[in-house]
Amino acid sequence: MQEKYQRELLQSQLEIQNQTLQQIAEELHDHIGQLLTVAAMRLNQLEDDSIDAAVQQSVRQTRDVVSTIITDVRALAKTLDQNTVQRFGLLPSLSLELDRIQRTGRIQTRFIESGEVYPLGQQVDIVLLRMSQELLNNVLKHARARTVTVSVDYQPDRLTLTVADDGQGFSQDDVAARPINESGSGMSNLHRRAELLGGTLSVQSRLGAGTTVTVLLPRNYTR
């Protein structure tokens, strides 16, 4: 009974998260994206109207920055929109997310897929994408890494999703010993999501040797 309650609670949390991210994606696409497009159009007009070469160059540079922001906002909206993964599947959605991160210039990304791809179901794809996004965000915030690699390996009886970075790593003993007021809930939530799918999540890390997070998911699991 307790396990069923925990699963239902986690499922509700995931649904709320997806609804929130969907709303953010729509706001980025429909409102912020349109405002940026209008700004780019006005900059084009300003460049055409100006006769000062220095002003034209400054406007042109600003317009290029705005154009880059428009591209990044559209990419972010797509990766937050669950319709993207529902339409195109897990692998293209992961590739899109890594391309978006690569364009920021903060870190190099690699994507490796292996095995014969088979369908997992839309809900599983969405959960795995959200887990990957959270892990990638952790890398950007904490790892001080130069490269992050996402691997998806389809085996006949299981799927393995791995997010590995070459960053500073951490002592798992130190993390386990943190008091409750210094302990985050992010990894615990990721563990529970893996369990919701009938799988497991493991973390390997050492100071100075990077971090690898592995999600193992049985193929034939049905909730």
Q: Choose one of 80, 96, 121: the last residue of a domain.
A: 80
Predicted TM-score (pTM) of this structure: 0.70
pLDDT of residue 150: 98
Domain that holds residue 66: 1-80
- In this prediction, residue 11 carries a pLDDT of 58
- Share the mean pLDDT of the chain: 82
List the CATH number of the domain containing 141.
3.30.565.10
More confident residue, 17 or 61: 61
Instruction: Give the torsion through C-alpha atoms of 163, 169, 171, 172, to 10 deg.
Output: -10
**Burial 17-50, CB ≥16 within 10 A → b, else e:** bbeebeeebeebbeebbeebeebbeebeebbeee
Residues 112 and 221 in one domain: yes
List, for residues 80-113, the tens digit of each pLDDT value: 777 788 888 999 999 989 998 998 888 999 999 9
User: Quick one: angle between helices 186-196 and 122-138, nearest 10?
Assistant: 160
* Residue 21 near residue 82 (C-beta atoms within 8 A): yes
Count of structural domains, the chain: 2
Q: Going by C-beta distance under 8 Å and a sequence separation of 6 or more, which residues neighbour residue 25?
A: 76, 77, 78, 80, 81
Q: Which two tokens stand for residue 46?
A: 């300003």
Would residue 92 count as lying in a domain? Answer: no
Asked if residue 27 belongs to a domain, the reply is yes
**Residue 101 domain flag:** no
Packed helices 90-103 and 122-138: angle between N→C axes, nearest 10 degrees: 20
pLDDT in tens, 139-195: 999 999 999 999 999 999 999 999 999 999 988 666 654 554 444 557 888 998 898
Same domain membership, residue 113 and residue 223: yes
Neighbours of 74 (CB within 10 A): 15
Q: Is 214 exposed, middle or buried (0-12, 13-18, 19+ CB in 10 A)?
A: middle
